């Protein structure tokens, strides 16, 4: 699953989601989130907008915002359909109302993987929807980089490793495993991951981290030119907060594996 709305739309995240889905024959589920805060703002009696060209003020109503959101959703759905057609991907497009990341995680349901756009360093200006989606599905060779995966002692650790290995192979990238020293089973996690990779004729570099602090991880992402970060996504409230903080700190797609 990937979020398709301005605050979450990112060519790199969409490309990673499409490449993963294509590599394993999975369905690409797109979710357009109607921002509930925007609708609440429009319901206020003093809500106004300023025209970009005319600089004229005019009142805004909830109906105006709902109409604009429907138009935007239809544009995205058409552009997505065109983009996935040549990749022969199974896909769905749904609309939900809520608050960005919270709505996306809540709607993930049975989705195994949720792909989020990293926020750090993102430009506030985005190209036209068609241009953005076209670049995402072109799969043009990216600059040399790495795929990173955070492994812990949770039950989803090997699913995280498997998904990261799949994307690293598909994009011809080096795999880096982040293991946190504070985990009592850090050595066991590293040995198990290396054995799993050896069975598949692959290898990875281990990066020991003192703790899962978003700032420390963001620094490693930048230094190592990481193109995507895979993260364990056990379903509980604290993990949702953790994911939001991490997505806001890093500059590459954050791929949450359940």
Q: Give the start-to-end residue ranges of the domains of the chain.
A: 2-51+58-137, 146-257
Is the confidence at residue 236, as pLDDT, over 50?
no
Residue 220 pLDDT: 93
pLDDT value of residue 184: 80
pLDDT tens profile 127-172: 566 666 666 776 665 556 899 999 988 888 899 999 999 999 988 8
The rounded percent of the chain whose pLDDT value lies above 70 is 86
> Of 124-138, 154-168, 193-207, 239-253, which one has max mean pLDDT?
193-207
Q: 2-51+58-137 and 146-257 share one CATH topology?
A: yes
Average pLDDT, the chain: 84
User: pLDDT, tens digit, for every residue of 67-121?
Assistant: 988 998 898 888 888 888 877 889 999 999 988 777 888 787 766 889 988 875 5
Q: What share of the chain has pLDDT > 90, as a percent?
A: 33
What is the pLDDT, as a whole number, of residue 194? Answer: 95
One CATH from 3.20.20.150, 1.10.40.30, 3.40.50.12370, 3.10.580.10 for 2-51+58-137: 3.40.50.12370
| Lowest mean pLDDT across 29-33, 52-56, 79-83 | 52-56
Task: Look at residue 258 in the predicted model and tell me its pLDDT.
Answer: 82
Task: Give the start-end residues of each E strand in 7-166.
Answer: 28-35, 48-50, 57-59, 91-98, 113-116, 146-151
Tokens of 233: 């996504």
Average pLDDT for 193-199: 96
Q: Is 81 left (phi over 0), alpha (psi -120 to 50) or beta?
A: alpha
> In this predicted structure, what is the pLDDT of residue 85?
81
- Looking up tokens 């792909």 gives 115
> Does the pLDDT value for residue 9 go beyond 50?
yes
CATH class of 146-257: alpha beta
Strand order in the sheet with 91-98: 91-98, 28-35, 2-3, 113-116, 254-257, 226-232, 146-151, 174-180, 205-209
């Amino acid at each position: 699953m990937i979020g398709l709305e301005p605050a979450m739309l990112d060519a790199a995240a969409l490309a990673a989601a499409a490449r993963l889905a294509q590599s394993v024959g999975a369905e690409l589920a797109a979710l357009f989130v109607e921002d509930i805060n925007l609708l609440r703002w429009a319901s206020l009696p003093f809500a106004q907008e300023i025209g970009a060209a005319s600089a004229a003020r005019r009142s805004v109503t909830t109906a105006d915002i709902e109409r604009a959101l429907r138009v935007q959703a239809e544009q995205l759905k058409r552009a997505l359909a065109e983009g996935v057609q040549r990749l022969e991907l199974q896909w769905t497009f749904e609309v939900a109302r809520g608050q960005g990341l919270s709505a996306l995680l809540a709607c993930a349901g049975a989705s195994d993987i949720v792909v989020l756009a990293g926020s750090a360093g993102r430009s506030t200006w985005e190209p036209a929807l068609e241009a953005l989606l076209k670049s995402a599905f072109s799969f043009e060779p990216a600059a040399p980089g790495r795929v990173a995966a955070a492994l812990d002692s949770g039950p989803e650790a090997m699913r995280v490793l498997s998904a990261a290995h799949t994307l690293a192979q598909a994009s011809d990238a080096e795999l880096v495993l982040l293991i946190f020293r504070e985990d009592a089973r850090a050595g066991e996690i590293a040995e198990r991951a290396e054995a799993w990779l050896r069975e598949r004729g692959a290898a990875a570099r281990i990066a020991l981290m003192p703790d899962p602090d978003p700032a420390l991880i963001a620094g490693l992402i930048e230094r190592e030119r990481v193109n995507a970060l895979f993260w364990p996504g056990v379903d509980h409230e604290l993990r949702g907060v953790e994911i939001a903080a991490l997505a806001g700190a890093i500059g590459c797609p954050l791929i949450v594996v359940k």
